[in-house]
Amino acid sequence: MVDFALIFPGQGAQYVGMGKDLYQQFPAAKVIFEKANHVLGFDIAKLCFEGPKEELTRTDICQPAILTASIAALRALESVSPLSGQLTPKAMLGLSLGEYTALVAAGSLTFEDAVSLVRKRGQFMEEASRQNPGTMASVIGFSLEETKKVCADTGAEIANLNSPGQIVISGAKEKVEAASNLAKERGARKVIPIDVSGAFHSSLMAPAAQRLRVEIDKIEIRSPKIKVVANVNAGYESSPEEIKANLVAQVKSPVLWEDSIRFLSGAGIKRYIEVGPGKVLAGLLRRIDPQLECFNVETAADTTAVKEAIGG
């Protein structure tokens, strides 16, 4: 059995229709959507399946929606190929919001607490965005050192280290625009503005982090049963207090995705299962290391394919 890790998508992976066939074909997935509806007090399943896209894209909606669709996909996979014994993942990690999904999958957070928490996280991020307006951009074909220099010269901040040659910057609009122009002048292949409502993973999210800490302190967080890699330091997080601190810091700190994958790859994990909507993470993995293998579980058909691939 080849060691494998589960990876979970973040904001931006959402699309209208996600999770619908899982809901229809797997009772275990249906239960997750029904739990989310109950906890949130509105029909998030209907928003996932039917939209409208504009509402599903809202930060405070898409965060619980993606978490719900991802855990539904995981429960569907477990129902055809129990992730236990030989099929226990060696580690789990998620991109930004996806870290909460990983913590649910690892038994550190209950699904109910997580879906309520990420709903609030989205609300706090939206409110921080109104308080401190900002934006983000993806810098392509530019080194980390050069990007750091550009940020130092303009006041923009590094938000995501996704893969080689793809770095996301964040901050006040004028600072991100200045950094984008300077990066292009200094040789970046291209800079792509990101359609987001705020400067996520930057110091402008400090008000959201403060409010999130209050909410995180209200819920029980247990030590994960399976190792979880933290976004903020690309290492394993284990104690409940460490997890709480990392989740608070994560809102206003860079996401070290490339470093996280290299950390696991260096530990011998070469196979990954992206669980949830979209294939963004599979694309990043290919750019980080073409030798890594990645499967996706976002539809009913995927569960069978992955079961066969991992020997379930």
Token pair, residue 304, equals 């069978």
Amino acid (one-letter) located at 51: G
CA distance linking residue 66 with residue 115, whole number of Å: 10
Question: What DSSP letter does each residue of 198-243 carry, written as one string?
Answer: S-TTSGGGHHHHHHHHHHHTTS-----SSEEE-TTTSSEE-SHHHH
Residue 203 known to be catalytic: no
CA distance linking residue 202 with residue 63, whole number of Å: 18
In sequence order, the 6+-apart residues with CB closer than 8 A to the CB of 259 are: 161, 234
Residue 38 known to be catalytic: no
Question: What DSSP letter does each residue of 43-59 carry, written as one string?
Answer: -HHHHHHH--HHHHTSH
Candidate list 81, 96, 163, 202, residue with the active-site label: 96
CA distance linking residue 95 with residue 178, whole number of Å: 27
Candidate list 81, 116, 163, 201, residue with the active-site label: 201
Exposed, middle or buried by CB within 10 Å (0-12, 13-18, 19+), for 275? buried
Beta strands in the chain (DSSP E): 4-8, 91-94, 135-140, 157-163, 166-171, 190-194, 227-229, 236-237, 271-275, 293-297
> Is the CA virtual torsion 249, 255, 261, 266 positive or negative?
negative
In sequence order, the 6+-apart residues with CB closer than 8 A to the CB of 27 are: 79
CA distance linking residue 176 with residue 199, whole number of Å: 9
Kindly list the catalytic residues.
96, 201
